[in-house]
Amino acid sequence: MPVSQTGKRLPEGDGNTMNIAAKIRARRVEARTRKAVSHAIETAATPSMRHELITLAQLQSVTWR
C-alpha cells in the first residue's frame, strides 16, 4: 500500500485519489487557516507586525483576501 509524505497509508489506486469527505475536510481546514491569517493581519498591533505576517503568509502560499 502506498504511503504519503506524512507517513499515512494512501488508499489503493493511483495514490492521488481522495474521497469526498476528505476533500471537504481539507477545504474547511484551508478556509479556517485563511480566516485566521486574515484576522491576525487585520488585528496586528503594529504596522511592522502586519508586514511580517503578510510576508510569512506569502511564503507559506496562504491565499487571503
Count CB-CB contacts under 10 A for residue 47: 8
By three-state DSSP, how is residue 5 classified?
Answer: coil
Helix, strand, coil shares of the chain, percent, nearest 5, are 55, 5, 40
Higher pLDDT, 60 or 56: 56
pLDDT (tens digit, 9 = 90+) per residue, 4-56? 556 666 556 555 566 898 999 999 999 999 999 999 999 999 999 999 999 99
Between these two residues, 60 and 38, which has the higher pLDDT value?
38
CA distance 56 to 3: 29
Is the model's pLDDT at 3 over the cut of 60? no
pTM above 0.85, yes or no: no
Can you give the residue ranges of every domain in the chain?
Answer: 20-59
